[in-house]
Structure 1
Amino acid sequence: MTGRDWARQWRDSRPTRWAIAGGAFLAMLVLATTLFVILETRAKEIADSKRELMTLNLSLAEQTARAIQGVDLILGGIVDQVKADGVESAEDFERVEAGSMTYRQLKARAADVPQLDAVTMIAADGHLINFSRYYPIPTVNVADRDYFQALRDTATSRPYLSAPVENRGTGTWTLYVARRISDPSGRFVGLVLGAINLSYFEDLYKALQLGPGSGISLWRRDGILLARYPSIEGIGKIFQIKSFTETLLHSDVGVYETAASIDGYSRIVATRALRDYPMVVNVTRSLDDILADWRQTSSVIGVAGILCALAVALVAWALARQFGTYESLSRALGEKAEAVLARERAEGQLYQSQKLDAVGQLTTGIAHDFNNLLTAIMGNLEFLNFEKQSARTERSLAAIQKAVDRAATLTGQLLAFSRKQHLSPEAVDLNGLIGNMTEMLRSTLGGTIRVELALRADLWRALVDPVQIELVVLNLAINARDAMPAGGVLTIATDNAAIGEPVRHDDLPAGEYVLISVGDTGTGMTDDVLARAFDPFFTTKPPGKGTGLGLSQVYGMVQQSSGGIRIETAVDQGTIVRIYLPRIVAATAEAPIVTPAPTASMDPRPTRILVVDDDPSVRETVAEMVDSLGFSVLSAENGHQALDHLAADRSIDLVITDFAMPELNGAEVARCARHMRPGLPIIFVTGFADVESLRGEAWVLQKPFRRDGLAAKLRLALPGQVADAARS
């Protein structure tokens, strides 16, 4: 179609506008939902990581505090011992604590605490009195150190943490914890000093094995870096980290995101200040590592969303084209109907039947395209469901699956109208079937509708699909209810009918039929409405109240069952719909239905299955399903290629073939394959089934289908060789 044709169709065709606008809306909705799911999943990943880092940070802060507290307790015990020794002046302190006994006590205390490197007693003038590492004591004065000056000038009972100092000999960094010793009047006597090797904290953090992208750092409250794992340059330096400072101004604990951390990576940082010491513990993880799994999941969700949106757009485009063709055909048929309006009524009804057959071919094409698209979408949704997803993602996928199921139901209705659905006819007692439906009909129709039955006692049995007949009666009853908004009477009757000549309104051959009549006392139909009663998508109901497929589905099922349908109606007097169904003789009813018995192969080699379909997306989806069930898969894009594979590869155990294919259809492929390989199991996969061509075939799988449905057919075709699909 040219651009001008599309513009004219858009202007003149309401269904085209609805199809294109609806498709665009649905595609945008799918994409918006996909983007929402991706962003929500990212936010959840970051939130979960923050909670995890905060929990870990709490544990690390407690461990770090206990390490500092262990050293502080040693120092506090030494201060108490000094007081117990009767030290009352700086001179007493130097005299009493300078001996070898004190040295041994200091050495013993330091040996019990792994993080404590050494303990030192320092006099009021800064020189060393005793030292746990050496005796006699080296001549050293520390009066210039920050911890000495701070405790000398300030009377306090709290410990002091120094800035880290790098050991000139070993290159290791040391943190000093100091406590002041005062005489009874509060004058400065000296101090006791504990040295902590900061590598102790790096070893502690390294042992946690947090994984790639993670880091743990220990800081003084003023921003001096004390320790970090993994190690970086900058221990003992001040880092002006704005996020770090602002977070701790409001609370001693927090979490923030920084675009450039001290090692240059974007990170999530959980920070916590120690309660009793001016120190801060940070636990971080890089955003790249936090979002690694999210990127993989979001790519899968994104691809699925784009595919679904494209599928919706393609369906809308196909519908618009089909509507254009249908409307063009309808206009042509309408013009022709005006020219032959004066002909006899029977000839006009034959024309109506021909028109519906043509529309049936169109709807068959729509349904076939729908089912191919839905098969690919449904299969890929199932594979997405195998992946581990978040709860929100699972709900989104379930919503998409629900929409696909509704589309599959719609294609089933189209196939019913076009007489291309797969029926399972059997001998049915229509009186019993209708009797079993009576209570359900009364509850469905409501209290304003009275249901009456007029069932013939010696009614013949009919050759029909009972499930489809129940749908026919239910559809007619619902239409009757809608025609009686103020209430009325619904009458369902059965009878035996012998037709000697074609019934007016139908082209029934002579014979014996079972008749079902459904009548109402409603508004009836005008001639114009009656003429289009069986057209698909035609409805007199307001928007959103009906699909226009009810009577067309009834018409298709009756025609496919070799029956006929007749409507008698008058405005404001009611409507009677008469359905003629073929009678079945007793001999036929009692004859068993024979299906070919599958043959089980005892070959121990892996089962090899050939998948044949001219639609690449369906072929790939079915092949992936077969492969996921544990089979060896071979694909063919047409019947000729499939026969070439069968001739060249004797290891093929089963064929899964599409029915509607160019050049060679599925039935022709099966006939040639069985000539080459007698007894070869064949499963037919079809968007619409030509019942006559597939009559007698044991395994027919209707599109769209799920993986479990395919597994069930394979179990029937290959008994003893198919594992339970739930375990595969």
Structure 2
Amino acid sequence: MQGAQRNSLRLLQWMMAASLALPIALFGIASTISYTSTKDIADREIERTLDVAHEHALKVFETIDRSLAEINEVVRGLPDDIIRAREPALHRRLKRLTDALPQLKSAWIFDASGRSLVNSLASPPPQQSFADRDYFIAHVDQNVGSFIGASLTPRPPYQGARFFGVSRRRETDDGSFIGVIQASVLPEYFESFYARIGSDPGSFFAMGRTDGVLLTHFPRLDRDLRLDPTGPVGQQIAAHADHGLMTVAWPSDGIERRIGYRRVAEYPIYISAGLETSAIRARWYATIGQHLVFGIPATALLFLLLAFAFRRTQHLQLEAARRREAEEALKHSQRLEALGQLTGGVAHDFNNLLTVIRASVDLLNRPQLTEERRQRYITAIADAVARAARLTSQLLAFARRQTLKPEVFDVGERVQSLHDMLATLLGPAIEITIWLPAEPCLVNADASQFETALINMATNARDAMQGMGKIAFRIEPATTVPDSLAHLVCSHGFISVAVSDTGIGIPAARLGRIFEPFFTTKQVGHGTGLGLSQVFGFARQSGGEVTVTSEVGQGSTFSLYLPRVPADLLPQQQAPNTAPAAAGSGMSVLVVEDNIELANFAADGLTELGYSITLVDNANDALAELVVDSDRFDVVFSDVVMPDMTGLDLAHAIRDRGIGVPIVLTTGYSEALSQEGSLGFDLVQKPYSIEELSRVLHKAARVRRLRHGAAE
């Protein structure tokens, strides 16, 4: 009996010991897993935060580099006395630049002695030398590209926050040093950004140069700090130069942190982000503390809670992974939707045009074809090509990659001239009203693109009314303009072209997307979604704006705003140019085209007209031909978009070398021309005809002969 009791007590003791030992062992294992998981989560958070900080720093320095390049282009080739003479205007330009970029404190242009020619802070600048500053000294002996200096204190009489300089060398064409262009960057701009993204306790950020000089630090330091290349941080970076993750006692305060670092592209800059290891441990303690609160009353409950916590953690991680997969799937579906709208709409329109072309070609190949039918099929092919070019121009207009051909015209007259075509396009069930102003409303814009924009707005209104209703066109000088145009200085104001309909209106949720490319509410294959996008691109590229107001069930009003020009700029009306192709009469043309099929087409067509053609497939060979003997060519005809050296680069090189051969450019797409214009060169827009090309070449060569005759 006692033996059985003792056995029962012993068994109870073993169970009590087991009830303590087993939960403790499980708790130890769970604690280890939790600590490892907490560290892994912290590392992932550090990597994500570092991604944000790195992307931010890269964009900031790229923006500063572009700004310095823009300033350098403004003063390139200008002697110091001219820059001083233009100081008030340059000061205002630099001030606008720094006001637009919150990361900049100021922008400077220095001469070779370190004195400020222009800056954004004071006009005129005090006669004071900055030749001892690091951002100046670095450029004196050689061109080091963009130099990023150390953190500096403003020199009296200039005041304010500390800064570090980003500078570039000013030099002559032969490489001689003539000064420095510098932008003063505010470290506190980065610190404010880090404060926003580093809201977690123990967050840490730093940005420094590759030589160990720190530029910014969060939390903020009250002294300068330079990292020792032989210290733990320097050794880690030396071992893994591009990026890495380390646990180290930071030299500025001795606090141990988990820190990730990454180099900013080609810049000599590192971005660091991290967390204090005590903060990471605090997270782990918080997690373990929650387990202990529920585990102390009963070891059995502790065991169940630990098991539940472990399973719950796995479940939460699984749910997070599923959520990420769902988000990626949603993004992928949105991209596929946009691609589907593009391929459906554009393929539908282009297939219609290709069908006309293919059918016309097949019919042209039939024997015993009458001249009247042959001309009809040729005209059908030409019309199909023109419609395809207009569809392509809509894509380029939205992307602002199209070279516009501005001319001065009266908006009211142009809209009135389109009345009959609009009536046919919109149908008899739509009533058209046109309100014209009492005074001329002149603009300087691409008339063809303006007509296309007007037709797109009218077509959009027709579809909104399902082919039945009223459309009103109102042209008038704009008494008020959208906020996006308020910053533009236009002495003659703007012209407003408002297109109002009585359609179903646009829901507020869709107003923000109507100008997006390929966004359409039509069925797949019934529209490209490029109509309103073309209106948007044309307005912005012409220096104007397009707005929309709408109420569901009450219709919509689209308002196109274009800069107004004075009446005295309206040219005398001329008869349309219907001149035939100009005979070559032995004129020598250097054709530069990398597309062999297009090059042969142009060469064959011009040869039949009597031109002497020399064909090369790249700009370097063309330049070599001109350097050897430029007198044997009457004109250069070059494509713009070519590998290595573009046609625009070739034209500049010909001008820079003083070669007197005129240049005619051709393109169907050029970002450089869309932003800068043709820069004084004659331009033939693709697709072009041989007749049009011959007239432009003949005109360019004739202008050269007239200049030579006047010089003699």
**Superposition TM-score tier, normalisation by shorter sequence:** 0.3 to 0.5
Higher relative contact order (CA 8 A, sep 6+): 1
Q: TM-score, normalised by structure 1?
A: 0.42
